[in-house]
Structure 1
Amino acid sequence: MSDRRRINGPAGTTYPAVFVNPNQSGKSQPKRSRKPNELRKIFLQVGVIPSASGSAYLELESQPNKTTFVSASSTIKLSCSVQGPKPLPRTASFSPNLQMTASVKFAPFATRNRLGYIRDSTEKDLGLHLENALKGAIIPDRWPKSAIDVAVTVLEGEDDQETGDRIAGLGLFNMLAGCINVAMAAIADARLDCLDLLAAGVGAIILGPDMKPVRVLDPAAIEHPEMLSSCLVGYLPSRDEIVELWCNDSGSTQAGDNDLGYEELVDSAVAAARGAQTVLKEVLLESLTQNHAPSKKLTNESTKDVEMIG
């Protein structure tokens, strides 16, 4: 029996028709217009959900090459809310440390193919990696018998541009890096004590024009259809410590005279994390300055009595 109270949207999305120049045959793939060590621009804002203890919104977009006719974009839009610290239920056992739960949920319209409302294996894996990364930054013994809930909502994801399949591969790494960054901004907005400002970055090794391996920072799935290996790290800059590491096909590149190895791959991801941490720091300092700005004192002219004429 169908649900008459809910009108479900279409299973997929459609794109407007694009008229290609007759002299240009086939469909060309957008190429990377950024330098190998250049990151994508990050838009970050904290305090977007007033009812939450801390919240943040992150948007990461890569502009495709205008000379191509691929009707696709590489955009990541994430929203995070932090509830707590709040006391544990009376029925729960005593815990000297803070109990944290992190979850990642895709909106039904986040990818090209419409998603369901029940969490699947991809969302559970992202939530598990996110929780492990945040546990390495938070000081848990400051809040005994307490708990916090970190919920990240994916409003738009970086999926496979050709087939429209679920997020996988490099898009999954970029998604997890964005989740870690937006969750750290929300935790800092909630005034929770941490060891350092956690940041995540993605690095990859691709084949250059001369068919030699080249490492790039913050790769986008739409810009690099094929790559040798990729890596994601959760990094604490002040402590020079890695709390989360996830590599894909790192064994395809062997260290040698002309090849890049595992250490270069991790170093590229760490460099991307340092760039993201710079944005996090600036946004949090700006938010702290605005919230604690001194109030304007009343001048003598504004405090003078006003004579009412009847």
Structure 2
Amino acid sequence: MRVPRWVAGLRRGWQIAPMDREDLTFTSGDDEVAAWLYRPAPADGPVPCVVMAHGFSLTRHDGLARYAESFAEAGAAALVMDFRHLGDSGGTPRGRFRIGEQRDDLTAAMRFARSLPGVDPDRIVLWGFSFAGGTAVTVAARDAHVAGLILVAPFLDGLARVIGTVRRSPLVAVRVLARAVLDLAGRHRTIPVTGRPGDLAAMTFEGEAEGFAAATGDGSPWRNEISPGVFAVVALHRPVRLAARLRCPVWVARGKRDVTVSARAIERLADRAPGAELHVHDVDHFEPFHTPAGDVLAGEQVDWLRRHGLVGPAPWRKPSVGGRRQP
């Protein structure tokens, strides 16, 4: 693997400017995963790293920079990745979505972060939005060495989403399921990620199409297409059931106007995860990425990292469980 310029610089004693960002790749399965590494100012010792993954079909270009920059300013590295088959990462066919593959990608990203010079392998924090939030819960429940979880509007209960879809658009649900079965049988097809209520698309609740449009913006490699195979099994995808297995502190947020993910599941995780802290904001599902609310959430996340010893070069101490709930 190519040695990044900044790693070579550290070995030579160069001074690195805060928030210098490097394009890197690492391997997951047979493909290369694209990532940005945001670096803090030089520290006296190894620094924590926040491993960041975006939600369903979204890419690292879609509003993650403000969060990564906030972590770097606070003294942590941030590794921001695209899942395989999406964004700048490799993998064919394009638009393929498999829960297991994305779990493997996030695990590979965490392993890669732990291997980086200057990163404290015992202070790796997983950050996930929406579907990736649920994936992060699954990974953390299986890896006792995860030091912390930051979950923004996590998708924790696929059954609740299926029930909501069937109630709103039963015909669309049937049509999507038929295409999902074909996709899992090896006949790769894509459907739109989002559309208006009643359209044949994966996410058609009121406001979701507008949310994707606002969050992606100019220059994003996001495509409004995704393989539908996940929808044949999504009702069984319920990371909320793993809440009690989490042994790291958890920062979790939900939006008061979020219709995309289950508020009940988020509340349940906050109640059952031993070290969880719940934050509730007057936002919809996508506003954390295209409104000033994102700055507020980023600030709260940095404060939480500081309180748990998960930013800066200070030696890590095991945080106490028993988080606090905020209105």
**TM-score normalized by the length of structure 1:** 0.30
Q: For the pair shown, which has the larger CA radius of gyration, 1 or 2? A: 1
| Greater helix proportion | 2
| Greater strand proportion | 1
**TM-score normalized by the length of structure 2:** 0.29
